[in-house]
Structure 1
Amino acid sequence: MKKLLMAAALAVTSGPALAAPLCDDLGFAGLLAKCNRGEDIPLTLASGQPLGEDVTLESGAYYTLVVTADGSAELAIEGASFFRSIWMNEIVINKIEIRPMAIDSIEFDKAGVVEMSFIAIKPGRHVLRIPGSTGETQSITISIQ
């Protein structure tokens, strides 16, 4: 019985349950409040160039993924496990706002920028990569805590 109570206490006080928004007073905007926004996550899609750096996000916080393609090749990023572990607020392409339920990948046929704002939800390690690539610099790991 003691072991069961100890396990229950640990489950309540550790792990994802400790994840919280970045600020205490979210106000009317809730999780979308300005004080709950983390740093932008920049990614670069360019032939032969690194995609970006690994990042750690906090569950419950609001972030923007900024993907910039230089048009040097037709490239995409994919990461179904990541896209299923977040709540997407919107994707902005050429100042057009899209509010999707879910996506699997984003592909660029020419130069451009996509901004995807989201709230990190499900803890875990997720990989965003250029499809078909095998190089270490052609993927990043996004950890949600």
Structure 2
Amino acid sequence: MKALMMAALMAATLPAMACAEGAEMGLAGLLSAGNKQDLPPITLSAGAPLAAAPWVLKSGTYYEFEIEADGSQELALVGPEFFRAIWIDEIVIEGLEIRPLGLDSVEFDEAGTMEIGFIAVKPGRFTLHVPGSTGDSQKLEITIE
């Protein structure tokens, strides 16, 4: 009986606690503008580095970044471990919004831009890289804290 009463008390107070927590984050919670950060773009170009510096992300934060391909070569970006450590909100290509359940890689056959919005979820160290390349400039080290 005590357990049932305790459960009822907790159920009655949880909505109030959730509202208080939601008020701190904003109306959209994790997707609110106050929780969003823009990351530097990733560049896909023959022989050019992918990024200027490694990324250090915080779990629970919403991020957006662009992948910019110049069309100099057909290039892909692979990172299944990273893509499984995040929740992808959307991918935008030329105004078309895609909301995938998961992702292993992306490939550009010609010049273009892709924007990816996601929430970092699982802490760890990950990489995005151009498949078949061995140079350090052809990979992006990512840490989720």
The normalised TM-score by structure 2 is: 0.82
Q: Which amino acid aligns with 2:72?
A: S
Greater radius of gyration (CA): 2
Deviation at 1:62, TM superposition (A): 0.3
Identity %: 51
Match of 2:35 in 1: 36
CA contact (8 A) 2:57 2:143 kept: yes
Deviations 1:84-129 (A, max 9, x none): 0000000001110000000100000000000000000000000000
The alignment status of 1:70 with 2:70, answered yes or no, reads yes
DSSP 3-state at the match of 2:63: strand
Q: Which amino acid aligns with 2:128?
A: L
Moved over 4 A (4+): none
Aligned residues: 122
The normalised TM-score by structure 1 is: 0.82
CA contact (8 A) 2:26 2:34 kept: no
Q: 5+ unaligned residues in a row in structure 1: which ranges?
A: 1-23
In 1, the alpha carbon distance for the partners of 2:65 and 2:40 equals: 5
In 1, the alpha carbon distance for the partners of 2:63 and 2:24 equals: 18
In 1, the alpha carbon distance for the partners of 2:106 and 2:40 equals: 15
Matches within 5 A, 1:1-145: 25-52=24-51, 53-145=53-145
Q: 5+ unaligned residues in a row in structure 2: which ranges?
A: 1-22
DSSP 3-state at the match of 1:25: helix
CA contact (8 A) 1:82 1:128 kept: yes
DSSP 3-state at the match of 1:131: coil
Deviation at 1:40, TM superposition (A): 2.1
Moved more, 102-111 or 31-40: 31-40
| More helix, by proportion | 2
DSSP 3-state at the match of 1:137: helix
CA contact (8 A) 1:41 1:63 kept: no
Deviation at 1:26, TM superposition (A): 1.2
In 2, the alpha carbon distance for the partners of 1:78 and 1:41 equals: 18
CA contact (8 A) 1:79 1:128 kept: yes
